[in-house]
Structure 1
């Protein structure tokens, strides 16, 4: 017996939610890569987002793409000409970023630092050494011990390393998003410890402290509250640098720009840029934003074939060729990733073809665990075994964020429009 319709059942996205070029390419891939489980990326979409953001910002603001969100070489290459640099967290990401930067249409001067910033709460000696040798624009130092390690490595290589001190502020004036400051954390130096850490950093001869890194927000869709946060970062960094004799050149405010899902209102970049323009930093100081998901989310789609479709006690389940081994984000963050159903007409004549129409559906993966559930209670007009389930907004924290080795199934493919 079918479950009665419920207002709680969200409707699946209409096919028009998928650009025609995406539908065409996925249909082609379904014929040649069956059973399909793949990401499809459009680097031009990420580049357009970067251009839109940069156009809204004052001249003293810079955009560095967080490679962790999507490290596909084509995406990095598409962004390289439209961002000021990249934020990296590993030797692998550093290598990918440098390759994309080297292919820029307008290459950097030979003597200029490599436009990468480095993050991470527990950077290894290998990572720090690679950053120093690459002449990274800034290493965001997370602790006093890390400052000493960077100094030691820079001395060994006969150079000076530029660092920004990552700070965990005691209080941040931010509402409407996940806050990552003002509470105990593995990230950054607690604000009360900053004076002592800066004093000791001044004694380390191979360090050049250029500023501060304060990444205390995530997923913020409210342009006004995020502008207030950035203005607060500028004021705090300026006052702290003046009080401790720091030659301030850089204020890194992290990422935190939200991506709209379902019926959420998108982040208003024009409003945000106008609001932060009212509080410029001191002359010669750059304010840095490190968006990752904001630039990459809309440039990717995850598509997987429905390998089976079954009705269990009145509720339909679509079993996909992939699951959290390919696309773990829906189970990890408080985000609802809705789907579109792309019909695939090819089907073996000798096999029955289960079909559900106007029915609530739960979408699960191929793994032997109930945790492998990607979407619950979505109402579909029609879905059949062999059709494709497509997740828009899968361009960030998708392929990189999954757990591909669990049960040893083949990894998701990656294709570029």
Structure 2
């Protein structure tokens, strides 16, 4: 192996069933396909008792959704830069709802319906003026390329209802990523329900769709995980607007635990008092840890018969930085983690790599072979699920 991912689709399916059981009966559950588009994982998530459909953000994702999903599944399309050709392709793939991000996009979408001879349901993506929930990334409550600022929503409603081919069905509010505070997240959903109902009533919108986004956080660093029982209790107290389909669209929370990333150690070297483990497949194969500074767990899997003959570079009982093969100092997977032993020819393995792994990587930079993807066919060592060594 050079570098690659292995997935256990049943882990993702079990997460979907677990979340489904915690959600109120009025909730529709979609999977954000950008998190993991590996077909066996998607099919497992969409199996009986799993998600109701997918959220997509490109023509390729829309085609994949229709190829993999069972009949009757829901597909919603999002993204801040839907050009005219993409909108035509989304309609051709039969997406159910398009989350519109701007006035120009609404006009483009209307023209696309005229070109394709179709009508389409539209939800306005809204950037709230204030968001009282925190996460690893914020897309709402601040200046952003995403959606209509809240004060512009009345004008957007008027435009959407005036354009041919568009059926305005509601709103999309996706404010944060990576929130692990269950009470705060339920309160955010409650705000979305209240705001959407008031806004729809004030402007004559027949509210049939309210997407409250994803944003459920995963604990990568040993901190307290999202309390699903608390989330279930708090959501159960909410009452959605009558007739509205309320959508949650997590990606990371459903898929993170189903994947592992492994890369071959090429070299172990010291530089000015620091130890570097250099692997094949850094951010060109797994960009998430470095770009979002997530301290993912790391395990060294010994390889006693390496492919290369001769002496092996080695480090023992020390803290290391794991760097990749790209010609940039930014190519780092993890920094300052303890390893008992690591040698050239061994494998470093990172669990919780099932979300924003293969899909999020910089495959083209330098043209190294992309990481492989496969379904897990053997039992992994139990210590691969350990949290980072302090």
Band the TM-score falls in, shorter-chain normalisation: over 0.9
Residue aligning to 1:80: 46
Matches within 5 A, 1:12-411: 33=1, 36-81=2-47, 82-101=50-69, 104=70, 107-108=71-72, 115-175=74-134, 178-347=137-306, 350-411=309-370
TM-score by length of 1: 0.87
**Is the contact made by 1:173 and 1:232 (CA closer than 8 Å) also made in structure 2?**
no
Report the Cα distance in structure 1 between the residues aligned to 2:136 and 2:364, rounded to whole angstroms: 32
Flag the 1:300–1:71 CA change in 2: closer, same or farther, 3 A.
same
TM-score by length of 2: 0.92
**Is the contact made by 1:364 and 1:374 (CA closer than 8 Å) also made in structure 2?**
yes
Report the Cα distance in structure 2 between the residues aligned to 1:264 and 1:295, rounded to whole angstroms: 18
Note the alpha carbon deviations across 1:45-92, whole angstroms, 9 max, x for none: 111111111110011111110111111111111111210110001110
Q: Which runs of 5+ in 1 are unaligned?
A: 1-32, 109-113
User: How much does 1:177 deviate?
Assistant: 5.2
Q: Secondary structure at the match of 1:202?
A: helix
User: How much does 1:293 deviate?
Assistant: 0.9
Q: Secondary structure at the match of 1:145?
A: helix
Q: Secondary structure at the match of 1:210?
A: strand
User: How much does 1:349 deviate?
Assistant: 8.3
Q: Which runs of 5+ in 2 are unaligned?
A: 377-390
Superposed CA RMSD in Å reads 1.5
**Is the contact made by 1:69 and 1:292 (CA closer than 8 Å) also made in structure 2?**
yes
Flag the 1:67–1:175 CA change in 2: closer, same or farther, 3 A.
closer
User: How much does 1:131 deviate?
Assistant: 2.2
Report the Cα distance in structure 2 between the residues aligned to 1:233 and 1:55, rounded to whole angstroms: 22
Which one has more relative contact order, counting CA pairs under 8 Å at least 6 apart? 1
User: How much does 1:209 deviate?
Assistant: 0.8
Report the Cα distance in structure 2 between the residues aligned to 1:176 and 1:293, rounded to whole angstroms: 13
Note the alpha carbon deviations across 1:305-350, whole angstroms, 9 max, x for none: 1111123344321110111111111221131123111111113684
Count residues in correspondence.
374
Report the Cα distance in structure 2 between the residues aligned to 1:349 and 1:243, rounded to whole angstroms: 71
Report the Cα distance in structure 2 between the residues aligned to 1:347 and 1:331, rounded to whole angstroms: 27
